């Protein structure tokens, strides 16, 4: 049977060799940039010295993990990461679904296409440009928001420097940028809905809301569950660039997350500690892995949709 299996595989390669050639680059990328870096994860358990290399550096066990968990920065950094991630997930996940359902219900073609284009466009704005726009719009001196507030008799505010506003500015600017792009997957799923179902429901007297709730929502529910599992697995992976660009001494108390903290202790510090930053990053990855496994198991028990 093993010999027969090898012969079948060789025949398949011979017949579909073009497809296997196309696989070379993505597989090489996966190995080089995803699997080979795992070799360097062992520096989290060593006192890394660039001269001695990874293998030559002395083993210290869990010292850097204990240092992170007992650090006075741990509660603040870990708490900021969790709060900002959950805020982003709760606020950002449902909006593409609602937008896709609303667009799917629109029957005026030109209006539907116009709304799609307008909501998709912000996705192509880079993070640096987006933060620059926020800085300009919310500037205490020349920002259009403060100019409008002052014209209405209010007092100018340094919105970026107000700690309690940092999370909302981060999350809702991201929702504005990515909500339209996120609707693409759901609109593709909704295209599989049989129009006869809507016609039959209309004949039975179902309202538009009833038809959306009982026909469209069940259709996209498996897709939504899979995306929720994937998003939960990345809950600790906030965008470093955007948070770092929005940081300033006034909002640092709520804006310091694991990604920016790792950068500061691992690269930006005068005494860069690669082992310590690697240990923090490894903790982050382990938490993400545990979350995706847990949520996937819950989804599989509650329904038939899961990643594996």
Q: What is the pTM (predicted TM-score) of this model? A: 0.84
Domains of the chain listed by start with CATH number:
1-61 (no CATH), 67-302 (1.10.3720.10)
pLDDT band at 15 (very low <50, low <70, confident <90, very high): confident
The answer, yes or no, to whether residue 12 has pLDDT greater than 80, is yes
Confidence of residue 51 (pLDDT cuts 50, 70, 90): confident
The rounded mean pLDDT for the chain is: 87
Q: Which tens digits make up the pLDDT trace of 107-164?
A: 888 998 999 899 989 999 999 999 999 999 998 888 899 899 888 888 888 898 899 9
Give the model confidence (pLDDT) of 67-109 as tens digits.
Answer: 999 988 899 999 999 999 999 999 999 999 999 999 988 888 8
Q: Tell me the percentage of the chain whose pLDDT exceeds 90.
A: 35
Give the residue from 278, 269, 243 showing the smallest Cα distance to 40.
278
Q: Which residues are bridge partners to 59 per DSSP? A: 46
3-state SS of the chain?
Answer: CHHHHHHHHHHHHHHCHHHHHHHHHHHHHHHHHHHHHHHHHHHHHECCECCCHHHHCCECCCHHHHHHHCCCCHHHHHHHHHHHHHHHHHHHCHHHHHHHHHHHHCCCHHHHHHHHHHHHHHHHCCHHHHHHHHHHHCCCCCCHHHHHHHHCCCCCCCHHHCHHHHHHHHHHHHHHHHHHHHHHHHHHHHCCCCHHHHHHHHHCCCCHHHHHHHHHHHHHHHHHHHHHHHHHHCCCCCCHHHHHHHCCCCCHHHHCCHHHHHHHHHHHCCCCCHHHHHHHHHHHHHHHHHHHHHHHHHHHHHCCCCCC
pLDDT at 175 over 90: yes
> Percentage of residues in the chain with pLDDT exceeding 70?
97
The pLDDT value recorded for residue 100 is 92
Question: What pLDDT score does 4 carry?
Answer: 59
Residue 248 φ then ψ, to 5°: -155, 170
């Amino acid at each position: 049977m093993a010999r027969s299996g090898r012969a079948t595989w060789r025949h398949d390669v011979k017949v579909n060799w073009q497809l296997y050639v196309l696989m070379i680059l993505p597989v090489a990328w996966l190995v080089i940039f995803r699997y080979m870096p795992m070799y360097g994860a062992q520096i989290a358990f060593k006192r890394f010295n660039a001269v001695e290399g990874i293998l030559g550096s002395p083993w210290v066990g869990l010292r850097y993990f204990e240092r992170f968990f007992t650090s006075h920065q741990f509660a603040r950094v870990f708490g900021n990461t969790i709060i900002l991630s959950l805020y982003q997930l709760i606020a950002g996940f449902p909006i593409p679904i609602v937008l896709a359902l609303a667009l799917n219900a629109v029957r005026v073609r030109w209006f539907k296409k116009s709304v799609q284009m307008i909501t998709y466009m912000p996705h192509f704005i880079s993070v640096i440009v987006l933060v620059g726009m926020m800085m300009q719009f919310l500037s205490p001196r020349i920002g259009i928001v403060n100019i409008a507030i002052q014209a209405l008799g209010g007092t100018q505010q340094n919105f970026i420097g107000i700690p309690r506003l940092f999370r909302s500015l981060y999350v809702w600017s991201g929702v504005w940028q990515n909500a339209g792009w996120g609707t693409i997957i759901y609109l593709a799923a909704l295209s599989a809905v049989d129009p006869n179902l809507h016609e039959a429901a209309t004949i039975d007297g179902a309202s538009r809301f009833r038809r959306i709730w009982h026909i469209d929502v069940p259709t996209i529910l498996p897709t939504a569950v899979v995306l929720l599992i994937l998003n939960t697995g990345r809950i600790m992976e906030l965008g470093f660039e955007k948070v770092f660009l929005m940081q300033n001494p006034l909002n640092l108390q709520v804006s310091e997350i694991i990604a920016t903290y790792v950068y500061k202790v691992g690269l930006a510090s005068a005494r860069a500690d690669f082992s310590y930053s690697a240990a923090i990053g490894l903790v982050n990855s382990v938490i993400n892995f545990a979350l995706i496994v847990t949520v996937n198991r819950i989804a599989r028990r509650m329904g038939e949709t899961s990643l594996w």
